[in-house]
Amino acid sequence: MLPLSRSLVLVLLFLLGIVATAMAFAGTVPIFENVGNVVPLVLAAEIVLYFFLTLFTNPRIPLVSTIVLSVGMALFRAIACVLGSAAASAFSEGQLQPIEGWMVAWIGNPIGVLIQFILLALAAPHFLEMVFPDMIGRETRQKLLGSSSRPVESNRSAQNPMSDSNPSGGFIQVFSYDELTAVIRKSHGLEGFIIYNNEGLIVWRDLPIRLESDRLVAKLMALHDQLADVVEASSLSRVRKVMVESREHLVFITPLNQNFGMIMVYNQSTTPSESFTRLAVIAKTTREFLQWKYPGLPVTASMTQSQMAIEMVKV
């Protein structure tokens, strides 16, 4: 027996259907007198249709990713038509020219184009769920996986306590930065994180995004403390964490204790409510690990942290 995931099987079936459709229509008579003249128009219309279909069915996908995905889907259909026409030419024993058959299968017959478009649109969400799961929203993922996904997730949580979002004691015990990274990386939609000390120096970084991390940490430390002072001066309770939402990211800034703080960057495939449910466990897990790893660190006054961060921003 060869166990395969449901999404993989569906993707393979849809892709075989696209190639088979190209084979079936490669030898038909095109409706256009000169197929080459309509290539730019049909290709542009196809990319636009893919773009709006992706945008409306899953609005959490960033705009740039939507454009790349639309172009990639159009390119894949062209490649599938090449394979289908080549197979049709081989079965026809040379009676069908591969290039002519490819153009007909790709653009020449609207019925074949429509069938391929539908099959590709059905295959795309399952492909993204397998390869780029962070680009799929939670509701879309539940629809793709069906009702059987919930018991599977429960069984996984029972077998692997590291994946439990509400572990006993409110945190997960780890003994190295690699183990800590593995725990934090289980958060849905997480792009990466930075752990920094009270001097604004980066202690640990797992953030693939290219940016000036040192300057980002210094500025966010200063702004967090300034905002906390303003809120506290207004007779409100002290700020524990700050969330900044941009077009493509959610950024959480939270002090862990007097000596360390953390910055977490999420993409737009997750919501603030989903992030908050995991953030408390992550913060306590990281805090407990740092206190275990650095037991001799003195308690530093919070004013020193603010002053140092502000001075680094000025520099």
Neighbours of 30 (CB within 10 A): 17
Cβ atoms 83, 106 nearer than 8 A: no
Cβ atoms 139, 17 nearer than 8 A: no
- DSSP state letter for 107: I
- Paired strand residues for 266: 190, 250
Q: Give the whole-angstrom CA distance, residue 175 versus residue 186.
A: 17
Q: Give the whole-angstrom CA distance, residue 98 versus residue 90.
A: 9
Q: For residue 142, what pLDDT is reported? A: 58
Q: Could you tell me what percentage of the chain is helix, strand and coil, using 3-state DSSP and rounding each to the nearest 5?
A: 65, 10, 25
For residue 55, give the nearest of 65, 40, 45 by alpha carbon: 65
In angstroms, what CA-CA distances link 179 with 47, 185, 191, 307, 308? 43, 10, 17, 33, 30
Helix count and strand count (H, E) for the chain: 11, 5
For residue 278, give the nearest of 195, 208, 193, 217 by alpha carbon: 193
Identify the burial level of 289 via C-beta atoms within 10 angstroms of its C-beta, where 0-12 means exposed, 13-18 middle and 19 or more buried.
Answer: buried
Long-range CB contacts (within 8 A, 24+) of 50-57: 50/74, 50/121, 53/121, 54/124, 57/125, 57/140
Identify the burial level of 209 via C-beta atoms within 10 angstroms of its C-beta, where 0-12 means exposed, 13-18 middle and 19 or more buried.
Answer: exposed
Q: For residue 152, what pLDDT is reported? A: 35
Q: For residue 32, what pLDDT is reported? A: 74
**Tens of pLDDT, residue by residue, the chain (315 residues):** 456 667 788 888 888 998 888 888 877 777 777 777 788 888 888 899 988 888 777 766 778 888 888 898 889 888 888 888 888 887 776 666 666 677 788 887 888 888 988 888 888 887 877 776 656 655 565 565 553 333 333 343 333 434 444 454 577 888 899 999 999 988 888 888 999 998 889 999 998 777 788 888 888 888 888 888 888 888 787 777 788 888 788 888 888 888 999 999 988 777 777 777 788 889 899 999 999 888 877 654 443 344 333 333 333
Structure tokens at 86: 């080549």
| Three-state DSSP class for residue 251 | strand
β-sheet with 190-197: strand ranges across: 202-206, 190-197, 260-267, 249-255, 242-245
Q: For residue 286, what pLDDT is reported? A: 92
